Structure 1
Amino acid sequence: MVTHDKIKVVVAGLNELDLVAQLFDKYRVFYNQKPNLEAGRKFIEERMKENQSVIFLVTHEQVNVVQPLGFVQLFPSFSSVSMERLWILNDLYVDQSARRLGVAKLLLEKAKEYAIQTNSKGLILETAIDNHNAQRLYESIGYKKDSGTFHYSFSL
């Protein structure tokens, strides 16, 4: 059981790398990728060392053991049309043991606070068409489905 008095939200740095890497591997598996903890750890470490993303991590401390509960990773971008910064909310994951406890909302709130602190236009994200739980969550806290654009990708 998770008690809220032991829950912390931190900006993850190299000290939290292993905790984030555990969750990142589970996140990738959720999206049908093969587990690869070491490659995921290296990917996150590179983002941290190069200051290429901001990661918020939720942890729960119990009897001197820190359990990672969830993370959100934001990548910086800009809107040329509005000439403002925005953040791409690229990754959001909550460990299965902590789902429906408010961890995702806490992470989304931290992302919103950070966007405000950095004088950003806002946050953008995408999710799978069949991820109805995520869609309900996003819409419940004010995210709007973008009906004015199409998303395209070009794979190499």
Structure 2
Amino acid sequence: MLTITVVGESDLPDLMPLMRGYCDFYRVDPDDADLTAMMRALIADPREGLQLIARDEAGAAVGFATVFWTWQTLYAARVGVLNDLFVTEQTRGTGAGRALIDRCLQLCRERGAQKLVWETAPDNVTAQRLYDGIGAEKSSWLTYELDA
């Protein structure tokens, strides 16, 4: 039995280790204060985005997702950007990632977003198996970035 809820202030102590695990997986090291500021900004203004936390039947935090809301000109529509999806290593393969994506998709529908879009690293084959398994379509776009 998995429970998925929108993150509130009381969830932050359980969410931080998951976010740190996500950052460690991608070999990045943002400051905990910056991660906490992001979490609190999303709690304060869910119109910008929100985070979900997945808990197992014992109440232990086993995964999270972050969705940001925006527009996509190419679709002429609102979209949800699944910026983060992470489940603990021991929880992978149990349906937790799929359940988080399903809840994100439901939230997109509730907000009038026509698509849920996301990226993953080319070498993250475990995640790609999940995404392929739920019928998600791979994009042909390449991602670029510049430091501001």
Between the aligned partners of 1:102 and 1:72, the Cα distance in structure 2 is 14
Q: Return the match for 2:147 from 139, 151, 155.
A: 155
Provide structure 1 residue ranges, at least 5 long, that are not aligned to the other structure: none
Instruction: Among all aligned residue pairs of Structure 1 and Structure 2, give the percentage whose two residues are the same amino acid.
Output: 25
Matched, 1:28 2:20: no
TM-score, L = length of structure 2:
0.88
Deviating beyond 4 angstroms after TM superposition, the runs of 4 or more aligned structure 1 residues are none
Q: Return the match for 1:44 from 17, 20, 39.
A: 39
Deviation at 1:117, TM superposition (A): 1.5
Matched, 1:82 2:75: yes
Provide structure 2 residue ranges, at least 5 long, that are not aligned to the other structure: none
Please list the CA deviations of residues 65-86 of structure 1 after superposition, one character each: whole Å capped at 9, or x if unmatched: x310001100011022433110
TM-score, L = length of structure 1:
0.84
CA contact (8 A) 2:42 2:51 kept: no
Query: Relative to structure 1, is the Cα distance of residues 82 and 129 closer, same or farther in structure 2, using a 3 angstrom cutoff?
Result: closer
Matched, 1:57 2:81: no
Q: How does 1:1-156 map to 2 (within 5 A)?
A: 4=1, 7-34=2-29, 36-51=31-46, 52-62=48-58, 66-147=59-140, 149-156=141-148
Looking at CA atoms only, which structure, 1 or 2, has the larger radius of gyration? 1
- Code of the aligned partner of 1:106: A
How many positions carry a matched residue from both structures?
Answer: 147
Root-mean-square deviation (CA, aligned residues, Å) is 1.8
CA contact (8 A) 1:25 1:36 kept: no
